[in-house]
Amino acid sequence: MKAVNQQLARASISGYRQATGAPAARGTERVHSAGTIRRGFVVVPLAVLFMFSGVFFPADAAAKEGVQLAPLEGARPAQWRVIWTDDPAHRATVSWNTAAPGKEHRVHFKAAEAGEWTVVECDRNGRFTGREDSPVLYYHHCRLTGLKPATKYSLVMESDGTKSPEFYFVTAPDDDRTVRLLFGGDSRSDRPMRQKMNQMLSGLLADQPSIVALAHGGDYIVNGYNLAQWSAWMSDHELTATADGRLLPIVPTRGNHDFGPIFNEIFGFPQDDENYYGFNLAGDVRLLTLNTEVSTAGEQALWLEDELAHWRPKCEWLLAQYHRPAFPAIKMPSSAKRDWVPLFEKFNVDVVLEADGHNIKRTPPIRDGQVDSTGVVYLGEGGLGVKQRTPLSKRWFLQPPGFSSMGHHVQLLTFEKDRLTAQVIRYGGEVADESVIVPHERRQALAHAASARKPVALEQ
């Protein structure tokens, strides 16, 4: 069966190349059929294993020998990234690194249709914290504000007169149009695979322009104090850009390997920031990023409760991401289970994104420690460049209609008005799992209707 499906996978990719040609395919949005929603269940596995859809792995990436990464030379910009931590419809942080400190660092940007370039000076420059044997590396962060939603912005980074190539990024929309989010974690210890996964992300972004960002669930590297490892990760992040220069914004989460000050230096957080924050990916989609590496109780839990209470009535889709799972496929539950899960259930969070385990998992909807169609779905657990582990599939929350597997992968979430589709895309393009979640009001209505029908069924 598996061999047959592998042949199907090759045929699918080959057929796509022949039909379209890989470069020409870019820019063509592909919306996948979500299938039928079964009554009484909120999350519906659809052709769970080995289903192949039109999700496309870039033809040239798999076969590419070696990769082109910008060299770190003097004040030449390299290791570029767009970072979203606040209101990405109107703001973004554009960051890069140089080998020399330089004196003047600025971004030239403009709305793609506009004629005039605007120049903004970097507001934060400094040398990365490192050990004696660390590379010498300088970061530059430029805060762009006053941006228009859902708008393409061209940009060029400049340090001491040396300019980067021209790139662009697209701000988040503020209306209820369909948007997509990539989610993945754990890119820490298999660099060749990390590079291949980044090339796959680039292909997905080119193929599906409604992808707005990559939410990275943490554990970028092995040792958070090791600047050489971080430097390699930042260079590899260049590979997420599309061939025509679109940068994939990153929404960073701190993992247990990402300890120390370098994390905040890379992603432009204040020095002692605790890395939990929230913003809208679209008018109707709110993403909360949490931090399992500081106290999950206390101020963070209070902040989470305030956020959920404020945004639940305002958004169709409410999701959270963090590193160490509440419902792990391998390890023991983190304190997120004690401190956050009751809040997720109280406010009917739609999806929770977890990392750390190095496997693929999707739980059924969970409430009060059991499967409940009005509950919360947990997805995970990291496969952006790390050796995979075998999930403990006998755990109750991994049993069907839950799902567990392993393999390098990324999660692709599609937010539409009436449904949220979650796909697991393996390296190579296979859709290993696909499920649909309906809005929380409908989940509860379906559950109510199902319970109302039960007495009738018993009387018959």
Q: Which residues bind Fe ion (CB under 5 A)?
A: 219, 255-256, 356
Q: For Fe ion, which is the closer residue by CB, 98 or 334?
A: 334
Q: For Fe ion, which is the closer residue by CB, 246 or 323?
A: 323
- Helix H segments across 239-371? 262-267, 298-311, 336-339, 341-346
Minimum distance from CB of 217 to Fe ion (Å)?
Answer: 9
Minimum distance from CB of 222 to Fe ion (Å)?
Answer: 10
Question: Which residue has the closest beta carbon to Fe ion?
Answer: 356
Q: For Fe ion, which is the closer residue by CB, 79 or 253?
A: 253
Minimum distance from CB of 383 to Fe ion (Å)?
Answer: 12
Q: For Fe ion, which is the closer residue by CB, 203 or 325?
A: 325
Angle between helices 191-207 and 227-237 (to 10 degrees): 30
Tokens 């390890």 belong to 331
Rounded to whole angstroms, the Cα distance separating 118 from 221 reads 35
Q: For Fe ion, which is the closer residue by CB, 249 or 255?
A: 255
Minimum distance from CB of 218 to Fe ion (Å)?
Answer: 6
DSSP SS3 for 178: coil
Minimum distance from CB of 327 to Fe ion (Å)?
Answer: 15
Burial class (CB in 10 A: 0-12, 13-18, 19+), 18: exposed
Q: For Fe ion, which is the closer residue by CB, 219 or 238?
A: 219
Q: For Fe ion, which is the closer residue by CB, 259 or 396?
A: 259
Residues 6+ apart with CB under 8 A from 187: 194, 197, 216, 219, 220, 221, 233, 236, 384, 385, 386
Question: 65, 50, 62: which is closest to 17 by C-alpha?
Answer: 62
Question: Residue 174 to residues 148, 179, 248: CA-CA distances in angstroms?
Answer: 9, 11, 18
Minimum distance from CB of 322 to Fe ion (Å)?
Answer: 11
Minimum distance from CB of 456 to Fe ion (Å)?
Answer: 49
Question: 351, 206, 261, 333: which is closest to 275 by C-alpha?
Answer: 261
Tokens at residue 73, please? 């030379």
